[in-house]
Every structure is written in C-alpha cells, then in structure tokens.
Amino acid sequence: MKFTQKIKIAVDAVVFGYTSQEGLSILLIKRKIKPFKGSWALPGGLVRNEESLETAVERELQEETGIKINYLEQLYTFGIPERDPRNRVISVAYFGLVRPDAFEIHADTDASDAQWCNIDQLPELAFDHPLIVQKAIERLRAKLTYEPIGFELLDKKFPFSELEKLYSAVLNRKLDRRNFKKKIMKFGFLEETKEKQQHQGSGRPGYLYKFNEKRYYQLKKESINFEI
C-alpha cells in the first residue's frame, strides 16, 4: 500500500549547568517566532539536508545561545504526532553538563533571549520540552549509578564539601557525608593534597582534593557500578 510520508527531523539540547553557588540549572531560550512566541524553550531546530544530527545540534546551540560545547550525549527521540502544531516533527534530543561560567551566552536567530534557569524554578516550556527536560534529569541522575561525574565542573583543587554539593544538587537529596566520602575514596580517583582551604568561619579548615585524571577517565570508560 502506497502512502505519503511528510516527517521533519529536529534536534533539541538540554544543557545542564552547575555552580556551587547556584546549583543545577538548564540553558533556555525565549522564542521570537510562532508557535509559542515569547515562551521559553530548549535550544534546537530543524536538521538541514546536508547535516548530521550532531552538526545540527551544535549549530543550533551556537546560533541561539552563542555557546559551543565539545560533547553532547544523545538522550532520546521524541515523536508523538501532535508535539509540533505546524508539522509532524520528530526530535532527537541531546544533553550535556557544563560550567556556566565557561560561556558567555547571547540570543540570536529564532531566540530573543537566553538564560540559565535553576531546575527547581523553571518557567512554563513550549512544545513537549517539559517531557524532554524530565527525561534528561532522569538520565543525568541515572548516570551516577555507573559513571563518576563532576571532574569537569570543579576547580583543579577543591574541598571535599564541593564534590558533595555537586552530587547532592544532581540527585536532589541530602547525602550522608561520612558514607559518601567512604564510597568516593574507595575508587581511587580522588587524592588528598597537602594544601588546606582558606579558613572560613569557625572550625578547622579541611584539606583540598584533586582528581587523578588517568584513574577517573579509566573508570568512566569501564562504566563501573558507581551507585551513591
């Protein structure tokens, strides 16, 4: 039986940002075209005929937010027929985790604004982007069960409390400090230095730590059981 297929392919990017002060956030753009003009949404758009999916998502991020990210991981494909009121559009979503202070964002092309928004204070999002964001959050948290994360988001040397804050922000729950440190240290990718953090408030200043990059990336490659 013959049929006519009119399906467009799009890409969307869920870029998570993390800082110790602000916690976990997501990069959003404000749309300046219909549909959902004036609404907040994920950066993204249609894939051009000559583009790969990876090239398309990198281009859309650059055009709409001004940032360039070296690595985005493919998340999921979203394709319910009514997800875009204009056409039948299938979206391949990607996600990544970065330091917001490493980028200077600015809106362009289809976006009138671009901002980092805390995941606990997200505005109403266009299309099915709430579903995409939720799926990305679930995937990010699931990664903690098989892969160490965080090295790219912290200073070269940091107090252990900063690593604890990172994991607590991603998991959205308070951690048992003693058990968390015990589990982290047994993997061998975290090394205590002889340096101490600058004294802040009462109490004794703790030692600073650094990542053993070789061991860290080896564990990531091996996809270890890393449940916290």
Structure tokens at 189: 């990718």
Q: Per the omega criterion (within 30 degrees of 0), is the bond before 148 cis?
A: no
Q: Kindly tell me if the per-residue pLDDT of 60 is higher than 90.
A: yes
Checking if the pLDDT of 217 tops 60, the result is yes
Residue with the two structure tokens 């979203």: 78
- pLDDT at residue 199 tops 70: no
Say which residue the tokens 């979503």 belong to: 93
Cβ atoms 205, 124 nearer than 8 A = no
What average pLDDT does this structure show over 75-100?
95
Confidence of residue 219 (pLDDT cuts 50, 70, 90): confident
Would you state the pLDDT for residue 151? 76
Token pair for 101 = 């202070």
Residue pLDDT, tens place only, 93-109: 999 999 999 899 999 99
Mean pLDDT of the chain: 91
- Go through the domains of the chain in sequence order and give each one's CATH number: 8-143 (3.90.79.10), 151-222 (1.10.10.10)
Q: Which residues contact 168 (CB under 8 A, 6 or more apart)?
A: 174, 175
pTM of the model: 0.90
Residue 206 CA to residue 191 CA, distance in Å, equals 13
Q: Give the whole-number percent of the chain exceeding pLDDT 90.
A: 69
Higher pLDDT, 113 or 213: 113
Q: Across residues 196-221, what is the average pLDDT?
A: 79
